[in-house]
Structure formats: structure tokens, C-alpha cells
Amino acid sequence: MDQLLTPDFWKVQLAFVASAPWLILPLLLVFAVIGWAACSRVNKGQIEGLKSQLNARDERLQLARDKEQDVTEKLAAARTEVTTLRDQVTLYVKGEALQIVQASVGSTIAAIEQANSSSNVLRTTLSEDVLRALDQAPVTLRSD
């Protein structure tokens, strides 16, 4: 190992390369081609890996956009429902809805009382007519 670090070793090696360029230059060329091919394969593998990562990222991005769209639609529906509920609460707070319900209940009670009184008058009238008819009609029992 110490021999590689001495200047004499490198002088001898340089003299050998200078004396035989026909042997050294083709070897350097072969090693350069092998290095270039190895580097090309490594780069191709890295490119494929990066492409697959990019596709996975695009899929996740699309999924996130779909979820965002769904959440946006639900938020819009919720805001619409909140607005509707606020309007209903405002009506109840103002008492308009309560007055409408009270008026409706009052008119319903009045209609029931009127129907009841009409029914009583009709019952009384029918009772008197039936009693008179019974008094005037002979009672016959039929056995068929």
C-alpha cells in the first residue's frame, strides 16, 4: 500500500502508459462504455421509480379533490339548512307562527262547537219527530 503513494511508482506507471497507448486507450474506451451503460441503467431505474411516485401522488391528489368536493357539497347543504332553520326560529321568535297556530286552533274549536250545536239541534229535532212517529204508529212485531 505504501508503494502506491510513492512518486517513483507513478513515474513507472506513466512511462508504461506512454510506451503502450495502443493497449491503454482501447481499455479506457471499454471502461468508459461500461460505466456509461451502468449509469444509464441506474438512471432508468430512478426515472421509473420517480414516475411511479408521481402517479401515486396524482392519485392521492385526485382522491383529495374528490373528498374536498364532497365536503364542499355537504357544507353548502348544511348552510342552506341552517338558513332555513334560522328563518323558522325567527318566525317563532316574532310570534307570527304562534299566532297562526292559535288562530287555526281557535277556528277549529269554533267549527267543532258549531258542528256540535248543529248535532244537538238535529238530535232534538229527530228525537221529537221520532217520538211523535212512534206515538202515532202502531207497533207490529214481525217474525219471519
The domains of the chain are located at: 10-94, 95-134
**String of b and e for 111-122 (b: at least 16 CB within 10 Å)?**
eeeeeeeeeeee
- Residue-wise pLDDT for 98-137, tens only, equals 677 777 777 788 788 777 777 777 667 766 666 566 566 5
Q: What are the phi and psi torsion angles at 141 (to 5°)? A: -105, 130
Question: Is pTM beyond 0.85 here?
Answer: no
**What would you report as the CA-atom Rg of the chain, rounded to the nearest whole angstrom?**
54
- Residue-wise pLDDT for 20-71, tens only, equals 888 888 888 999 999 999 999 989 989 999 999 999 999 998 988 888 888 8
SS3 138: coil
